[in-house]
């Protein structure tokens, strides 16, 4: 009996030591994550202005004059993905607004606010109203393409046309290693990972992840800082990217059945070597089912067309504008007052 008690005591002691070791490791990773987030935000500060919408403060940039163009970035991104090269190129002919989607970059989104595609389309509708945009052309990249299409379906009177760049338009059958760690559905587990293991893991795997997201195109030299790539190395980014990723399936299946209701010009641009989304499934098959959604394929191009094939993206937006005809762009009400 005494031998059994001694064995059980020894096992219990080992368990306590192991748990203590895990706790200490998680604490060290949490400290590393906090320090890294501070360093990232010091290196890549906000570059735009703020307005208030239902999710809190929303960070955006606004340049140029003419017909408004609203840019919606993709999964895990932020507005610097668009401002790196694209906004300046479009700003020569259009008024260009790029946003940090709620929860990403420097925009707020409390955990109680939904992350579904339709909910995010509603947040973009708030942006249109708050900035007094008069029927913008909406440009959506990747997940932003799904959000742009949902916006056009829910508020067609507020959208002039769509330029969908490597968009998610239907349920995807393609699996990627870049987003494999995002499928955490338990909120407590997601918060724990965001504060401890996720960011160090992203640092360790960033080369593999970027090769998949950008390939076969190169990662632009300026992407890490000027393109905002560093901003993904924060707990907030992992938390909300995971929420976005897990919420996709809630509405994308029904959404893609409704594209026949779109009555505005729609242009789709896809790279034939996209490693994140299947250009046949998301582009060719969608255009075959909905012929009014006009598709252009870029041979040998990858997923990040908004950074690596800017001329083609500009051409797509200009084609939507041409489809709309030479309509007079009348000034709307004054632009919204910004907040600190």
Q: What pLDDT is recorded for position 30?
A: 72
Question: Over 80: is that where the pLDDT of 86 sits?
Answer: yes
How far apart (Å, rounded) are the C-alpha atoms in residues 121 and 159?
Answer: 12
- For the stretch 252-278, what's the b/e string if a residue is b when 16 or more beta carbons lie within 10 angstroms of its beta carbon? beebbeebeebebbbbbbbbeebbbbb
* pTM for the whole structure: 0.91
The pLDDT assigned to 334 comes to 46
- Sorting pLDDT into bands at 50, 70 and 90, what band is 336? low
Query: Does residue 136 lie within any of the structural domains?
Result: yes
Q: Rounded CA gap, 13 and 25, in Å?
A: 18
Does 95 reside within a domain? yes
C-alpha 277/C-alpha 283 separation (Å) is 9
Let me know if residue 187 belongs to a domain. yes
Burial (Cβ within 10 Å: 0-12, 13-18, ≥19) of residue 6: exposed
| Neighbouring residues of 226: CB distance < 8 A, sequence distance ≥ 6 | 80, 84
Q: Say whether pLDDT at 315 is over 80.
A: yes
Is 123 among the domain residues?
yes
Return the pLDDT at 33.
84
Residue 166 domain flag: yes
Structural domain including 190 reads 49-322
Cα-based distances in Å from 316 to 18, 146, 224, 270, 279 = 57, 17, 26, 11, 16
The pLDDT confidence band at residue 330, using thresholds 50, 70 and 90, is: very low
- The residue that leads in pLDDT, 14 or 305, is 305
Supply 183's token pair.
Answer: 């499928």
Name the pLDDT band for 263 (thresholds 50, 70, 90).
Answer: very high
Query: What's the confidence (pLDDT) of residue 37?
Result: 87
| Number of domains present in the structure of the chain | 1
pLDDT (0 to 100) of residue 72: 98
State the pLDDT at residue 1: 60
Q: Examine the pLDDT at 331 and tell me if it is beyond 60.
A: no
User: Phi first, then psi: what are they for 185, rounded to 5°?
Assistant: -90, -20
- Whether residue 304 is contained in a domain is answered as yes
pLDDT tens-digit profile of 188-221?
Answer: 999 998 999 888 888 888 888 999 999 999 999 9
- Residue 165 inside a domain? The answer is yes
Q: Is 314 helix (H, G, I), strand (E, B) or coil?
A: helix
- What are the C-alpha distances in Å from 94 to residues 80, 97, 131, 265, 287? 18, 9, 15, 17, 27
303 located within any domain: yes
Residue 225 φ then ψ, to 5°: -100, -65
Q: 222: phi > 0 → left, psi -120 to 50 → alpha, else beta; which?
A: alpha
Exposed / middle / buried, residue 14 (Cβ in 10 Å: 0-12, 13-18, 19+) = exposed
What pLDDT is stored for residue 8 in this prediction?
56
The pLDDT assigned to 4 comes to 72
- CA distances to 55, 56, 67, 232 from 109, in Å: 5, 6, 29, 16
Q: Is 285 helix (H, G, I), strand (E, B) or coil?
A: helix
Pairing of strands 293-298, 266-271: parallel
In terms of Cα–Cα distance, which of 232, 234, 243, 233 is closest to 190?
Answer: 243
Q: Residue 286 maps to which CATH number?
A: 3.40.50.1820
Q: pLDDT digits over 124-173, tens only?
A: 999 999 999 999 999 999 999 999 999 999 999 999 999 999 999 999 99
Interatomic CA distance for residues 105 and 228, integer angstroms: 8
Q: Band the pLDDT of 24: cuts 50, 70, 90.
A: low
């Amino acid at each position: 009996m005494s031998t059994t008690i001694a064995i059980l005591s020894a096992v219990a002691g080992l368990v306590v030591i192991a748990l203590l070791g895990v706790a200490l490791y998680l604490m060290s990773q949490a400290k590393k994550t906090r320090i890294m987030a501070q360093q990232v935000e010091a290196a890549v500060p906000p570059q735009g202005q703020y307005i208030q919408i239902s999710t809190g403060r929303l960070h955006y940039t606004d340049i140029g004059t003419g017909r408004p163009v609203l840019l919606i970035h993709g999964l895990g991104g932020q507005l610097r993905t668009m401002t790196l090269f694209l906004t300046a190129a479009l700003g020569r002919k259009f008024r260009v607004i790029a946003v940090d989607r709620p929860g990403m970059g420097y925009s707020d989104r409390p955990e109680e606010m939904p992350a579904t595609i339709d909910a995010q389309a509603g947040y973009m509708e708030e942006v249109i109203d708050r900035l007094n945009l008069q029927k913008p052309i909406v440009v959506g990249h990747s997940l932003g393409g799904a959000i742009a299409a949902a916006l056009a379906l829910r508020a067609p009177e507020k959208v002039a046309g769509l330029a969908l760049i490597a968009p998610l338009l239907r349920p995807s059958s393609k699996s990627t290693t870049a987003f494999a760690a995002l499928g955490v559905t338990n909120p407590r587990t997601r918060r724990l990972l965001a504060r401890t293991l996720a960011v160090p893991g992203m640092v360790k795997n960033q080369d593999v992840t970027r090769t998949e997201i950008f390939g076969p195109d190169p990662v632009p030299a300026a992407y890490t800082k000027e393109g905002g790539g560093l901003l993904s190395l924060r707990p907030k980014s992992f938390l909300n990217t995971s929420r976005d990723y897990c919420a996709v399936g809630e509405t994308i299946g029904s959404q893609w059945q409704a594209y026949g209701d779109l009555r505005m010009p729609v242009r789709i641009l896809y790279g034939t070597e996209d490693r994140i989304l299947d250009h046949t499934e998301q582009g060719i098959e969608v255009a075959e089912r909905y012929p009014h959604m006009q598709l252009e394929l870029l041979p040998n191009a990858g997923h990040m067309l908004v950074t690596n094939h800017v001329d083609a993206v500009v051409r797509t937006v200009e084609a939507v504008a041409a489809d709309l005809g030479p309509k007079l762009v009348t000034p709307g009400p004054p632009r919204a007052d910004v907040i600190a």
